[in-house]
A and B are shown apart, each in its own frame.
Chain A
Amino acid sequence: MNMDTGKNPDSSGDSLAEILKRDFGDGLLHEQRTLTGMPVFWVTRDALTDVLGYLKGLTAPFDLLYDLSAIDERLRSDRQGLPAADFTVFYQLLSISRNADIMLKVALSADDLSLPTAVEVFPAANWYEREVWDMFGITFAGHPHLTRILMPATWSGHPLRKDYPARATEFDPYTLTVEGQDTEQEAMRFDPEAWGMQRERQGVEFMFLNLGPNHPSAHGAFRLVLQLDGEEIVDCVPDIGYHHRGAEKMAERQSWHSFIPYTDRIDYTGGVMNNLPYVLAAEKLAGIEVPERVKVIRVMMAEMFRITSHLLFLGTYLQDLGAMTPVFYTFSDRQRGYEVIEGITGFRMHPAWYRIGGVMQDLPQGWEKLVQGFLDWMPSRLREYERAMMENAIVRDRTRHVAAFSTAEALEWGVTGPNLRATGCNFDLRKQRPYSGYEQFDFDVPLGHNGDVFDRGQLRIEEMRQSLRIIQQCVNHMPAGDYKADHPLTTPPPRERMLEHIETLITHFLQVSWGPVLKPQESLQMVEATKGINSYYLTSDGNTMSYRTRIRTPSFPHLQQIPSVMRGGFVPDLIAHLGSIDFVMADVDR
């Protein structure tokens, strides 16, 4: 990884560390060595916003607040000389110009769980801080609206704390009385004053419209409260959390291996693309280097899912523009993709097919023919979608210069992936920070110009073409070799090694029943997922289970950005925008 700035004295990261030490000597407590591939600094609470502002103000700025969350450190046994903390809040910043990351951590003690807000420096911190408050009960002084975001307003307790139960058997059975239902309903009622909204302007009363949580164009259980003047959107408030299933909490009670199927369901249109960052991060902890064949198989299947996900996007995007036919065509193409996926993995949407140290099984006989059939079918179809729809005058009228935002605005709000590239920003992790052997593939990164609804649609069609190119190279050059790494922590371990003698049998038994034990460290892997940058930040405490799994998903900040894009727009433009940002609610709420 070219992010290993901590070890390379020539890279800008190291000089940055020196500069930080010089300028914030007292505020900088500790530099932590991790497997995250980026410098990790512990800073004091007082210095936090200064350091954040400083990093954002550099000539090559850390301009994107990539992630912000917390860790409950109270039960962590192996803390490797880290500063004393009951809770840690971490801020991961990303610099496009440096192509480097930096992580800041702040230690908090349980009797004073408060931090200054970072909203003034990074607007995108708003939702992340609300999530930290919701999940950990840490307050952010000066936050404009510190309320629950994923859990219902009526919830008590902070679920990601270690003392919060994780199993249903630890709770009383759930009951809901009629009064309780009324209370819940009432808690859902939108209160404009709480959001600082006017109810009227110059004697004209605004209409407050609940778009969702059950609306055909909300793409799942998602609510957007619109403040309307006629059909003009004066302001809007996205409301998420209806799809929250506590994936991060579940990761803390599943073995490293048995959590893989849960990742499939984060971005549920992305299939094995979700497994990739998780197994790559786990392999860093385990120290596994996988064979070339595994890398290429993983790339091929991930790109297959990029195509099926983009086909779903294209159909619904055009349907949101009122064209009812394309979705049926893209779905039948998607079905062809799933036939290939099913032939190889045995499953369609959620194969959970990647393993720590490899993939579940080798490619079946005749897989080349199956994949080649799909590769031959798609290009003419993509051309047809462009001719019939993207060149259509009404589509162009509905999408050109609608809901447009610039690169700077995108970075301000943490937008990544195709939505960022539609603004002309050339940042694709497969090129910038190749993982799983992407550096060996020949493909282009399509870019947009205007960052509008049209560019976001057209760019994804182009991305499908590039994915087809990558898959073609996989078919042509699939390396021979094993589908699992020859490593003691490969899970599940190869069966051939089991029956040698009693010791191997016991090892095998333990590794299948308990799963592997990964060394106490922290690792992180980002991938260019279907909707943007997705990463898993794993903290191991030397156990069979993860101590903390932070899942950073692209759709979360994309939804947070909606109000800043849509103020002053019309309802149909909002629908077009919602269709163009390509989100699924499971990817937002986790």
Chain B
Amino acid sequence: MSWWTPELAAILWAMFQALVILLGAVLLGAVLTVVERRLLGLWQDRHGPNRVGPFGTLQLIADMIKIFFKEDWIPPFADRPLFVLAPIIAFASLLLSFVIIPITPGWGVADMHIGLLFFLAMAGINVYAVLLGGWASGNKYALLGAMRASAQTLSYEVFMGLSLMGVVALAGSFNLRDIVAAQEGLWFVIPQFFGFATFLIAGVAVTHRHPFDQPEAEQELADGYHVEYSGMKFGMFFIGEYVGMLLVSALIVTLFFGGWHGPWLPPILWFALKTGCFLLLFILLRASLPRPRYDRVMSFGWKVCLPLTLINLLATGAVMLLVDA
């Protein structure tokens, strides 16, 4: 057993963790599609999918069979390589960001010093999915959707990064484990409330969830940038959206709500509970709000959120200097 070294065991354990978290994220994303429909049904005074299996629990399997066997059609007028690349970026960029999330003290894929920056970089790459998908489709609706998406995502990413700088300043680190550890006594949502509010808004916008779903506004652009996609390519955009939701919820919990911290219950349960609350919020937002106009979304980002994050950052810095002094 000379080959069995502690290093190898650590590597295997890390790989096992990574695999579990990867599959868990994808699977949860898929399950969320059904959960969302059931919840919307509940809130909308109707049943939702309740026919496949007991209480509709097997709906997901039916959906997967359908989406896997659907004709994977690439329009003849599309730009093939980019058309194929776009859904992969959409799916992978957000999924990769999960590596930085510390789920419990012992679980997590990577313990990176630049954790938060990695997430911001991945969110930046995610724009290309929409942009390329919309452009490569050769469809005017897709193009308009891509145009909206790139303008919107760029504006919201500006203050998304800034909204997190208060947290980074308080914790003194970009590393998410350090940030969670720093919230042992007080969750950052209290000192960084404006940071939380703006990050939540930016998070919804970056995942193109309602009410910031202008790029795919069904009533206006008939699903926007992914209108030409079908089969598994559409599935990747679709599941990617839910993975994004999951990621943003998990990040909010990690950055502002103390991650796994909490009394009595094991850390994993606390983390799951808190994340679940934000997932509910995402779905409830979709059920309850109308969609603001696209230019209003832009001006809200630039005129309200960006100044707010800047003031928040300045105030945080000032308070910290005062306390240090």
Give the B-binding residues of A (Cβ under 8 A).
207, 209, 215-217, 230-231, 318-325, 328-329, 332, 389, 392, 394-395, 397-398, 570-573, 575
Contacts and interface: CB of A to CB of B under 8 A. Distances in A.
Nearest to B223: A216
Contact of B291 (A322, A329, A570): A322
Contact of A231 (B40, B46, B144, B288): B144
Given A209-B140, A318-B290, A572-B293, A325 B219 contact: no
Given A209-B140, A231-B144, A328-B46, A398 B287 contact: no
Given A207-B140, A216-B222, A572-B220, A398 B46 contact: no
Interface stretch (B94-102, B210-218, B314-322): B210-218
A571 B292 CA distance: 13
B45 interface: yes
A320 B219 contact: yes
Contacts of B291: 321-323, 394, 398, 572
Given A325-B288, A332-B45, A570 B295 contact: yes
B220 A571 contact: yes
Nearest to A230: B147
Contacts of B141: 209
B300 to A, nearest CB: 10
Interface of B: 40, 43-46, 140-141, 143-144, 147-148, 210-211, 213, 217-222, 286-296
B211 A322 contact: yes
B144 A398 contact: no
Given A231-B144, A325-B43, A394 B219 contact: no
Contacts of B288: 323, 325
Given A207-B140, A323-B289, A398-B290, 16 more contacts: A209-B140, A216-B219, A217-B219, A217-B220, A230-B147, A320-B219, A322-B217, A323-B291, A329-B44, A332-B46, A394-B211, A394-B289, A397-B296, A570-B294, A572-B291, A572-B294
A334 B34 CA distance: 28
A231 B45 contact: no
Contacts of B294: 231, 570, 572
A572 B211 CA distance: 14
Contacts, number: 81
Contacts of A575: 219-220
B287 A325 contact: yes
28 contacts: A209-B140, A209-B141, A216-B218, A216-B222, A231-B144, A319-B219, A320-B219, A321-B219, A321-B291, A322-B219, A322-B289, A323-B289, A323-B290, A324-B286, A325-B43, A325-B44, A325-B287, A389-B290, A394-B211, A397-B293, A398-B290, A398-B292, A570-B294, A572-B220, A572-B294, A573-B293, A575-B219, A575-B220
Contacts of A320: 219
A395 B220 contact: no
B204 to A, nearest CB: 14
A322 B216 CA distance: 11
Contacts of A217: 219-220
A322 B45 contact: no
Nearest to B41: A328
Given A321-B291, A398-B290, A572-B293, A328 B44 contact: yes
